[in-house]
Chains A and B, each alone.
Chain A
């Protein structure tokens, strides 16, 4: 079992800088919202530290504010975050099969959209030290933004916060778009993902599906069809 070198940890820290910046912007908004419903800064920071999930945390706020049931909260979190299960399964194929339970549990903590995106596109095997670098810097940003937002929503000019909201999407685009140049199948998957997500968002009735569930449906459908039509060749999944 090989867990990587210190240079892998440093690579992880470096690659996580854009994630960190994007997270500060998004979690800042979360901090503001959580203080609005009466959560203390400590509670907001604990939420971010223990969950590290943007959509999940934002959606939980309305339930906490309404003193909703525990079951409702758990079901909502399960559905919104179910996509992490697909990502975790994908990562299980990228790590050393001999990797210990402890490291598997460690990597699991950081399965977010952005950290997953960086991890899966890392050349070769995924070493735990690289993951820990990504997690360390990303979660630092996630916590810092939450704390700042919870303590003082007025620290930064509003316009700056507004524009920083694009960072996270810019990051997603930087992860998925370059590969569309070399693979028509990836191009089709990206286009179909955006198209169907748009259809689901604006079509009457269907638009009532929660955003987490919408993403799951689109992901499973598009990835399944692509796998049937254009199965990858051996070695292409590295």
Chain B
């Protein structure tokens, strides 16, 4: 099983290098308006792409995922806190699944 540790270490090296290179090498403020805008939009684009449609298969039933998604969108749009949004989405899905199991 020692080969498992080699896999784990290799993954770790690659992943850490990806994370550390920009943070250690970029020492100055970026002046380019395009790059600044690009970096500003990156989190919104990435997190949106990661959320949808993956959220539809986050729970056992698509219907509970859809309800959870809707609850999260409504609460987030009304600027509720992170914990509230995440917690209520889970709770809504849980309630839906309770009904489904009857």
Query: Interface of A with B (CB < 8 Å)?
Result: 15, 17-18, 21-22, 38-40, 43, 46-47, 50-53, 56-57, 60, 63-64, 67, 70, 73-74, 77-78, 81-93, 95, 97, 101, 104-105, 107-109, 111, 113, 116-117, 120-121, 158-160, 162-181, 185-186, 189-194, 196-198, 201-202, 211, 214-215, 218-219, 222-224, 226-228, 230-232, 236-237
Smallest Cβ distance from A207 to chain B, in angstroms? 11
* B80 CB, min distance to chain A CBs, angstroms: 7
The answer to whether A87 and B89 have CB atoms under 8 Å apart is: no
Interface of A (DSSP majority class): helix
Given contacts A85-B18, A111-B19, A198-B53, contact A18 B83 (CB under 8 A): yes
Contacts of B30 in A (CB 8 A): 93
Q: How far is the CB of A100 from chain B (nearest CB, A)?
A: 10
Residues of B within 8 A of A196 (CB): 49
Residue from the set B1, B4, B82 with the largest chain A CB neighbour count within 10 Å: B82
Q: Which A residues are CB-close (under 8 A) to B40?
A: 90, 227, 232, 236-237
Q: A18-B82, A192-B48 are in contact. List 9 more A-B contacts (CB 8 A).
A: A47-B11, A51-B11, A70-B10, A88-B21, A170-B68, A174-B85, A176-B48, A194-B51, A223-B42
CB distance from A60 to the nearest CB of B (A): 6
Residues in A with CB closer than 8 Å to B38 are 223-224, 227
Residues of B within 8 Å of A82, CB to CB, are: 18
Among B4, B30, B49, find the residue whose CB has the most chain A CB atoms closer than 10 A: B49
Q: List residues of chain B with CB under 8 Å of any chain A CB.
A: 1, 3-12, 14-16, 18-24, 26-30, 33-34, 36-55, 58-60, 64-65, 68-69, 72-73, 75-77, 79-91, 93-94, 97-98, 101
Flag if A77 contacts B72 (CB, 8 Å).
no
Docked pose: A117 CA to B86 CA in angstroms: 14
- Rounded to whole angstroms, the CA-CA distance of A191 and B45 in the bound complex is 9
Query: Which B-chain residue is minimally distant from A199 (CB atoms)?
Result: B53
Interface hub of B37, B50, B65, B72 (most chain A Cβ within 10 A): B50
B72 touches A173 (CB 8 A): yes
A163 touches B48 (CB 8 A): no
Chain A CB within 10 Å — which of B42, B55, B75, B77 has the most?
B42
Asked whether A104 lies within 8 Å of B43 as measured between CB atoms, the reply is no
Please tell me if the beta carbons of A197 and B43 are within 8 angstroms of each other in the complex. no
Chain B positions within 8 Å of A74 at CB level: 10-11, 14
Question: In this complex, what residue of B is CB-closest to A222?
Answer: B45
Which of B15, B22, B73, B86 is in CB contact (< 8 Å) with A56? B15
**Do A166 and B18 contact each other (CB < 8 Å), given the known contacts A70-B7, A108-B23?**
no
